[in-house]
């Protein structure tokens, strides 16, 4: 029996989104990103005008629920407190980061084979 592959992750924002009626929304769900989620925002004129806007559009695609709100538009993401925005960016990276970020490689100068941790969590280990 294989374990189910998790695609949705519940979260609680540190501060929360305050809607137009003054209601606070902190509990939400973020789904794992698809290739289209990563590519489609590059067509958005706001992203083309300013690269930093990519995170806003990307998060609006993968946050599927926040409190009683069904999803977050880019305009709602813009209204999040900075603390919550950073929290969601970090959660996005955690959810979508490769579980095996260590690759075997070889030094082009000396030919030594070693493991390279792409996430930067561990020192490289010599393989031969």
Q: Where are the domains of the chain?
A: 8-97, 99-128
User: How would DSSP label each residue in 28-63?
Assistant: EEEEPPPHHHHHGGGGSHHHHH-GGGHHHHHHHHHE
Q: What is the pLDDT of residues 62-114, one digit of tens each?
A: 999 999 997 789 999 999 999 999 999 999 999 998 766 556 677 777 878 76
Q: What are the DSSP calls for 98-120, one per residue?
A: -S--EEEEE-TTT--EEEEETTS
In tens, the pLDDT along 28-48 reads 999 999 999 999 999 999 999
């Amino acid at each position: 029996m294989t374990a189910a592959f998790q695609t949705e992750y519940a979260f609680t924002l540190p501060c929360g989104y305050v809607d137009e009626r003054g209601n606070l929304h902190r509990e939400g769900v973020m789904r794992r990103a698809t290739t289209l989620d990563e590519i489609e925002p590059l067509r958005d004129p706001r992203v083309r005008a300013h690269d930093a806007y990519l995170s806003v559009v990307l998060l609006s695609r993968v946050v599927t629920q926040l409190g009683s709100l069904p999803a977050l538009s880019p305009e709602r993401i813009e209204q999040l407190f900075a603390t919550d925005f950073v929290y969601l960016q970090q959660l996005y990276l955690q959810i979508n980061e490769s579980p095996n970020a260590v690759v075997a490689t070889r030094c082009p100068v000396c030919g030594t084979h070693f493991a390279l941790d792409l996430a930067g969590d561990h020192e490289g280990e010599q393989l031969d």
